[in-house]
A = this chain, B = another copy of it.
């Protein structure tokens, strides 16, 4: 496919605004020279940054906006003050109008979620969109959802998350029949929540475009036991943050250990290539970007405090998702595959 692809960027989002957004776009253009951008935000600030990045200047159009959504605004405030006119809203609207294939913002997560839902609408089969994250595994990556769009999920919602996550795995990783697992606790006497058990039954008894693996536990995620891990947003968010925190903590241990004696310092110096490889592998910037699944369009949230490399990863994710026509895949799967009627019944009862 060589159809040129346009991505809408909220240039005012994130802790660093246009500086990181434009330099991220510049890096992403090196990966994908066919990209072009719509840049929403303060024209003066954006133009100033474009001077240092002529490759972006040559492939983008600025849409000036007076209003930017503050990082600490509540979603309701953001909607009230920023709807129809903020850089975030207009960037999302560009996707709705078909002027862009995806929107990327490093702005306020709650506001982005609320505006994306309000503007793009959920797909007809979807009660609740989810945020999917890409999680590094020992050999590869896996997709985890929901990592925080909502608290709690019933069996039917977990079932939809599985369909959407699997469609994303097929699109992003090119796996024909991804393995999907439901996150649960392994302690025998509790066996997890009722809704998770119900979702498991629905997944087991329905013909699906993926392989349902069954339950997985917290330590399976990073081991790559499955390609897609499905859970509700509270535990998903806690798992994601806990893994990030643990990685950071071990990095701190490692640095402390490597500077504890002159011998270990020499060792660390000799093994510096190995440490660089390790650092790369653990670099959260390479997998930056949560994607809102279940909407009529691709909306991607970058970490607010990322740098150009991280923001470029989020743009690259938007590019890949748009190129592989994620939304139509999901729409199609949601229409084609659904829980058997008797299971749907269970859900209602």
**Contact surface of A with B, Cβ cutoff 8 Å:** 72, 74-75, 108-111, 113-114, 136-138, 148-152, 183, 185-190, 192-193, 217-223, 231, 233-235, 237-250, 252-254, 257-258, 260-261, 263-264, 266-275, 277-278, 281-282
Contacts and interface: CB of A to CB of B under 8 A. Distances in A.
A230 to B, nearest CB: 13
A304 B281 CA distance: 32
Nearest to A241: B218
Contacts of A136: 249
A271 B278 contact: no
Contact of A250 (B151, B217, B247): B247
B223 A245 contact: yes
A233 B192 CA distance: 10
Contacts of A183: 238
B138 A185 contact: no
Contacts of A263: 270-271, 273
How many copies of this chain? 2
B270 A238 contact: no
B260 A267 contact: no
Contacts of A221: 242, 245
A302 B231 CA distance: 28
Contacts of A190: 110, 148-151, 233-234
Contact of A109 (B187, B237, B239, B277): B187
A130 to B, nearest CB: 12
A63 to B, nearest CB: 26
A275 B257 contact: yes
Given A222-B246, A223-B245, A245-B221, A187 B110 contact: yes
B249 A113 contact: no
A348 B71 CA distance: 37
A193 B187 CA distance: 23
Q: Which of A111, A150, A235 has the most CB of B within 10 A?
A: A235
Contacts of A138: 249, 252-253
A267 B249 CA distance: 22
Contacts of A264: 270-271, 273-274
B248 A222 contact: yes
B222 A245 contact: yes
